[in-house]
């Protein structure tokens, strides 16, 4: 008999689930518990074992602002559906008054404005993310602590029964949907916990023993105080996102700069490469991150200080196809500088110079910065490019300067 017994491995995941996990882990820094929760739901859905008559999963994401709660949902949508916006998103702050619920589900026939209302949650909007292989949808309720009573009632029904009745009585089935709810309740208390040497801007910080648990307890207690037990009981999992530490913020910066590089390479003409020196990165981190807002302003800081100037350089033909641009920090003016290190050498093209690739590879390791000026001039034709029309970047620098003068 025994020879027929085969020991099984219930922790083994399918190849596509592992791919999903790897891809999500590459886009989201830290927040392992959130990644894990989503991956588990995905595996259950793929196996067809999600319970009928319920959403595929109800996940509550808690934690401070700028820690990746919304990004997690967008990143998963990007991986699974090919578009980060393939999420039906309800900003609960927009539905604080009970009558505004009509924007969500449409008003009943006969009501004023019935024809003009386009409900946000419909079967069509949910199935927009469906692909041939994957009939899954994401519904995100952001900032649920701001929801009106009417929205709460609606939410309780959805979380439990996975159906929603629209104003005109059409039914929406949410049994193929993962419902995400986010809130930064307890955020202020968490920031207080992190202060005093444990924040994220200090170098070489290490989370103090037990801090992670304290952060989790603080967030969950804040949620239990605010939300009713019947709501909390309908959740499959509550995930607490942790404030990002300094080295994690650096990783987020690398991911974001990678996205910008991708955008540059996707331009119709003038695909070039850029690199940002350590000092340049430090400047961007200072501009775009802080203890209170996490990585919330990082994108904006990158747009202002990197993307706008690069756009100017491209539009004024100061950089062109195959160039390597080095972005550094100018301490005296507290702004970024842009220099062309390699010319027409990085992207294989019929016009590329034979020696160019070696020169740019060398330039990439950062040593070229220290080379004698005339050698650099001669060998690599380094030229300081002028992102002249960069009003946002310069006014930003000026503002900073003003601040430090005061
Ligand atoms: N853990 C993370 N991994 C990768 N990127 C992150 C992470 N956290 C934040 N970011 C970056 O910061 C931006 C803001 O994060 P996000 O919108 O997810 O914050 P949030 O936690 O939803 O905050 P809020 O509570 O204010 O809505 C993201 O678009 C992303 O660029
Ligand atoms: Mg958010």
The burial class, CB within 10 Å (0-12 / 13-18 / 19+), for 46 is: middle
- Predicted TM-score (pTM) of the model is 0.79
pLDDT value at residue 290: 80
In ligand 1, the atom with minimum distance to the C-alpha of 293 is 26
User: For each of the chain's 406 residues, which pLDDT tens digit applies?
Assistant: 567 898 898 888 889 999 999 999 999 999 999 999 999 999 999 999 998 899 999 999 999 889 999 999 999 999 999 999 999 999 998 887 777 888 888 877 666 665 566 788 999 999 999 988 899 999 999 999 998 888 888 999 999 999 999 888 899 999 999 999 999 888 888 878 777 544 444 444 455 567 888 888 999 999 999 999 999 999 999 999 998 888 899 999 999 999 999 999 888 777 889 999 999 999 999 988 887 788 888 999 999 999 999 999 988 988 888 889 999 999 898 989 999 887 765 554 443 333 333 333 333 333 333 333 333 333 344 455 555 433 333 334 334 444 444 3
**From ligand 2's centre to the CA of 75, what distance in Å?**
13
Task: Determine which residue's CA is closest to atom 19 belonging to ligand 1.
Answer: 66
What's the rounded Cα separation, in Å, for the pair 58 and 51? 12
pLDDT value at residue 208: 59
Task: Determine which residue's CA is closest to atom 11 belonging to ligand 1.
Answer: 295
pLDDT value at residue 30: 93
Please answer whether residues 246 and 202 qualify as being in contact, where contact means their C-beta atoms are separated by less than 8 angstroms: yes
| HEC string for the chain | CHHHCCCCCCCCCCHHHHHHHHHHHHHCCCCHHHHHHHHHHHHHHHCCCCCCCCCCEEEEEECCCCCCHHHHHHHHHHHHHCCCCCCEEEEHHHHCCHHHHHHHHCCCCCCCCCCCCCCCCCHHHHHCCCCCCCCCEEEEEECHHHCCHHHHHHHHHHHHHCEEECCCCCEEECCCEEEEEEECCCHHHHHHHHCCCCCCCCCCCCCCCCHHHHHHHHHHHHHHHHCCHHHHCCCCEEEECCCCCHHHHHHHHHHHHHHHHHHHHHCCCCCCEEEECHHHHHHHHHHHCECCCECCCHHHHHHHHHHHHHHHHHHCCCCCCCCEEEEEEECCCCEEEEEEEECCCCCCCCCCCCCHHHHHHHHHCCHHHHCCHHHHHHHHCCEEECCCCCHHHHHHHHHHHHHHHC
The best mutation among 295, 303, 307 to test binding of ligand 1, ranked by most ligand atoms within 8 Å of the C-beta, falls on 295
**From ligand 2's centre to the CA of 61, what distance in Å?**
9
What's the rounded Cα separation, in Å, for the pair 150 and 159? 14
Point out the ligand nearest to the CA of residue 62. Answer: 1
> What structural domains does the chain harbor?
15-243 (3.40.50.300), 247-405 (1.10.8.60)
What's the rounded Cα separation, in Å, for the pair 376 and 370? 9
**From ligand 2's centre to the CA of 298, what distance in Å?**
14
Lining residues, ligand 1, CB within 6 Å = 28-31, 65-71, 182, 184, 241, 244, 252, 255-256, 294-296, 298-299
Residues with CB under 5 A from ligand 2 (ion): 69-70
Cα angle vertex 154, ends 151, 158, to 5°? 135
**From ligand 1's centre to the CA of 295, what distance in Å?**
6
What's the rounded Cα separation, in Å, for the pair 257 and 281? 10
**From ligand 1's centre to the CA of 49, what distance in Å?**
31
């Amino acid at each position: 008999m025994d020879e027929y017994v085969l020991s099984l491995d219930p922790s083994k995941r399918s190849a596509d689930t592992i791919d999903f996990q790897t891809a999500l882990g590459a886009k989201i820094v830290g927040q392992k518990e959130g990644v894990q929760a989503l991956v588990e739901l995905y595996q259950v859905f793929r196996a067809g074992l999600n319970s009928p008559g319920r959403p595929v999963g109800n996940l509550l994401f808690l934690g401070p602002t700028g820690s990746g709660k919304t990004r997690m949902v967008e990143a998963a949508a990007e991986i699974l559906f090919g578009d980060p916006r393939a999420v039906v998103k309800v900003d609960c702050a927009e539905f604080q008054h009970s009558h505004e619920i009509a924007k969500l589900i449409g008003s009943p026939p006969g009501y004023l404005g019935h024809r003009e209302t386009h409900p946000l949650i419909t079967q069509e909007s949910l199935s927009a993310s469906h692909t041939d292989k994957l009939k899954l949808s994401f519904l995100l309720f952001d900032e649920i602590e701001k929801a009106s009573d009417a929205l709460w009632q609606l939410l309780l029904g959805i979380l439990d029964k996975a159906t929603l009745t629209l104003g005109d009585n059409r039914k929406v089935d949410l049994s193929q949907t993962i419902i995400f709810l986010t809130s930064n309740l307890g955020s202020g208390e968490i920031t207080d916990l992190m202060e005093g040497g444990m924040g994220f801007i200090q170098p070489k910080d290490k989370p103090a023993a037990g801090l992670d648990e304290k952060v989790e307890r603080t967030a969950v207690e804040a949620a239990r105080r605010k939300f009713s037990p019947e709501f909390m009981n309908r959740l499959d999992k509550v995930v607490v996102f942790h404030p990002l530490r300094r080295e994690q913020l650096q990783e987020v910066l690398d991911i974001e700069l990678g996205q910008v590089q991708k955008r540059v390479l996707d331009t119709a003409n003038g695909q070039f490469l850029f690199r940002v020196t350590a000092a340049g990165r430090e400047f961007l981190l200072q501009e775009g991150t802080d203890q209170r807002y996490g990585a919330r302003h990082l994108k904006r800081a990158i747009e202002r200080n990197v993307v706008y100037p690069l756009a100017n350089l491209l539009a004024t033909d100061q950089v062109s196809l195959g160039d390597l641009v080095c972005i550094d920090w100018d301490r005296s003016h507290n702004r970024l500088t842009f220099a062309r290190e390699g010319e027409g050498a990085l992207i294989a093209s019929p016009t590329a110079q034979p020696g160019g690739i070696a020169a740019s590879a060398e330039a990439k390791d950062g040593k070229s910065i220290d080379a004698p000026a005339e050698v650099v001039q001669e060998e690599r034709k380094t030229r300081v490019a002028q992102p002249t029309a960069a009003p946002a970047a310069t006014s930003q620098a000026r503002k900073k300067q003003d601040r430090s003068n005061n």
